[in-house]
Structure 1
Amino acid sequence: MTTSEASGRLVIRGHLISDDRSIGDGAVAFDGDRIAFAGPAAEFETLPEAGSYAGVDVPAGSLLLPGLVDLHCHGAAGGDFASADPAMVRRAVDFLHQAGTTTLLASLVSAPPEAMLEAAGTLAGLAEEGLVEGIHAEGPFLAASRCGAQDPSVLTDPDPGFVDALVAVSRGQLRTMTYAPELADADGLVEQLAQHGVVPSIGHTDADLETTAASLRLAREELASAGFDGFTERPTVTHLFNAMTPPHHRRPGAVTACLEAAATGGAVVELIADGHHLAPETVRAVFALAGPEAVALVTDSMAATGLPDGDYRLGRADVVVRGGEARLAADGRLAGGTATLLEVLRSTVEAGVPLAEAVVSATCVPATVLGLADEVGALHAGFRADLLVLSPDLRLRAVYRRGVELEPNNRAT
């Protein structure tokens, strides 16, 4: 049942898994839209106010996880965030919430300036309503040689005027931007983004190791000196491995620079661990090398997410989905994902990553990138009442967002 307001005082018992905690007999209590308690059930029962909370029946063996946080998704359920159609955008957001992604950035693909500005204005309104956490601009300052599913005809070198216009129309809701560090005046772009409170994210790049490493260092310095409360000091890397120079033993490339930065605390790397973009062994190796605290699991989901195989659009590109894999109709290149973040979490565990580590990378790491480490991404008193109830095999049984129980959609169950 979906309700329009928080459900009052509720308590749910199960196996609690959050940040560095695993509590077999745990309890999470909501007081309206906030978590009032998260910890051992025996401890909750000793509280004087425990009797004022209504118990919620869940099947034995249920797992209790924080709501998932996605830094990179382009849509779902037929809705594309690059469109300026509010109804379709809301449809996508509703689907993602009901699939367990309770916090998300809405990602834009590269497009003509007027189209990106119009879409950003629409998304800013949803962010102001609290439906999305902000906007991620994937471009347009990307390398045409590594454009992936991006339209090469609209890619350009950094343009300070366009950045100012995008920041203005986003009304403070632009949170991250993907850029290629080898482009002309990419350093100036990094400085400009940090000054506006926007996290630079390296991606869609043909840069070598030295250029990539230098840009990551600059981004860290600029973020550290930005002076925003709760602001991350780590830049991000847009879908590591995909659309960037791969590692070679004599030409290490951007991937090697990004991995080293992540392993030494200097970056957070996105992984599309959906079974299509990366081999399971690659996912497992990144967790082993960089650690879960430097990995953000993402979906890169497109409008086809939650829908059957068929023909779809990603921005201005025609996309064909077969067996859940999205590829450009024109040349067969991968074109975003069709998995939900819960499905990515499940695939990550199937790849051999321990569940507790995968949960960290799908919750508290992306929350930290967004400056929300004290608000979402973990189960603690005072945090938003965002909670997933899962079966032992990570199937969705219930989802709460801001204390409101949502109806799980068919794709997520």
Structure 2
Amino acid sequence: MIYKNALITTKDRQFFGWIEIENGILKGVNEGKTNLEGFDCNNNILMPGFIDSHTHGGFGFSFNDDLKDLKKYENYVSNLKKEGLVAFVGSCVTATLDKLRSDFIDINNLIFKSNNKKLPKLVGWYYEGPFISKAKKGAHEENLIIPLDEKFLNDVKHNFKNFPIIFTVDASKEQNQKLIKKYQNDFIFALGHSDANYEQAKLVLTNGIKRITHLYNAMSGFSHSNKLGIVNAMFNKEFNSDLNIELIADGVHVANEVIKYTYKNFNIDNLSVITDSLSPKGLENGEYKLGNLDIEKKDHWFYLKGTTTLSGSALPYNEVLKNFKNITNCSWEELVKVSSYNSARNLNLPNYYGDFIINEKVNFVLVNKDLEIIKIFID
């Protein structure tokens, strides 16, 4: 099949051209026009399909509560196609270790039963709790928060071979610091939900941390005086060059002026736009559950019931991405990096995610200049 008259956009350049796909495999990427018959892209943008590397669910499906419900799960991932997503990382909030262990089989079943279908793929698993700070717990149950547990790390390692696993970790505890360093080649450790000071953050950022859980949200912030925090360490670039920094770029979790400042002051190769969406995303406004916590959905955002504490987003991925582009005025090539390539690299995914590779599977999306989804190509 030929797809022509497209603005083909990679992480490196954008050009007018056409592509050839045969049995789901990319056979050619060409510049210019062609007289061959095929699908007319009408000068719209053809780019690698999006990856949301931090989502708790949506459309009534929760990665905490609905892992046994394959029908509900497939409805969820079918809806993700409308947002241009070809892959995502399922995220759970704080729960007991027994509950998290009982999920092992169900998570593997989801991967096995659904990842062979032409739907957006579950490409990683994210433990956002319980190894976090009570001081920066956000929408997590305080009584279940504990230090990193080495036995649990080994249980996860045994049950998820060759599958990316992310752990959000509080850097202020010495036990956590030691285990991050010890298991840094087995997992993707993310610094977040932490009240760590500057020196503690600097220590783990250069000794095993590969990711930042939603920069600015639920962490020790920027100080101009004597209580320097995680954000100070980030802006002082006290981290490895391949660090992946999540940004909920919806304009509410992070104000648009701060999004713009972040874009100007960080290397675009380090940034990834995420949603941090919750299960009632796509549903009516009202009261819902996040684990055992009561939350309220108000339009595109979630709050702990009766408070102004943000607990997640309900904005579609392409809309979050659109806000990032409008605020930063970034190039389309840079948008490829923050929407797919950087996450794919951090998760060590196959190279048909986030790029155009000849003789590989196709995972692309066709969008207009307003990031409305025209067509999506999965596998």
> 8 Å contact 1:70–1:298 — kept in the other structure?
yes
**1:62 maps onto 2:58 in alignment:** no
Amino acid at match of 1:353: N
The Cα of 1:266 is off from its aligned counterpart by: 5.0
Distance 1:309 1:28, change over 3 A: farther
The Cα of 1:34 is off from its aligned counterpart by: 2.4
Per-residue CA shift, 1:216-248, capped at 9, x if unaligned?
11116xxxxxxxxxxxxxx01000000001101
Equivalent position to 2:224, from 231, 249, 260: 249
> 8 Å contact 1:269–1:295 — kept in the other structure?
yes
> 8 Å contact 2:364–2:376 — kept in the other structure?
yes
> What is the rounded CA distance, in whole Å, between the counterparts of 1:311 and 1:337 in structure 2?
14
> What is the rounded CA distance, in whole Å, between the counterparts of 1:256 and 1:216 in structure 2?
12
Q: Which residue of 1 aligns with 2:184?
A: 194
The Cα of 1:319 is off from its aligned counterpart by: 1.4
Q: Which residue of 2 aligns with 1:380?
A: 357
Larger deviation: 157-166 or 26-35? 26-35
In the alignment, structure 2 segments of 5+ residues that lack a partner are 116-120
Deviant stretches of 4+, over 3 Å? 169-172, 259-264
> 8 Å contact 1:263–1:289 — kept in the other structure?
no
**1:207 maps onto 2:196 in alignment:** yes
Alignment of 1:1-400 (within 5 A): 9-23=1-15, 25-42=16-33, 45=34, 55-58=38-41, 60-83=42-65, 84-87=67-70, 88-128=72-112, 129-130=114-115, 131-196=121-186, 198-219=187-208, 235-250=210-225, 251-261=227-237, 265=241, 267-356=243-332, 357-372=334-349, 374-400=351-377
Q: Give the SS at the match of 2:38.
A: strand
RMSD between aligned residues: 2.1
> What is the rounded CA distance, in whole Å, between the counterparts of 2:219 and 2:124 in structure 1?
25
Distance 1:142 1:263, change over 3 A: closer
The Cα of 1:268 is off from its aligned counterpart by: 1.8
The Cα of 1:331 is off from its aligned counterpart by: 3.1
Distance 1:257 1:266, change over 3 A: farther
The Cα of 1:13 is off from its aligned counterpart by: 3.2
| TM-score, reference length from structure 2 | 0.91
Per-residue CA shift, 1:283-336, capped at 9, x if unaligned?
111111112111011111111222232222222222111121110115331011
The Cα of 1:61 is off from its aligned counterpart by: 3.1
| TM-score, reference length from structure 1 | 0.84
> What is the rounded CA distance, in whole Å, between the counterparts of 2:78 and 2:160 in structure 1?
21
Amino acid at match of 2:215: L
Q: Give the SS at the match of 2:206.
A: helix
In the alignment, structure 1 segments of 5+ residues that lack a partner are 1-8, 221-234, 403-413
Identity %: 22
Aligned residues: 369
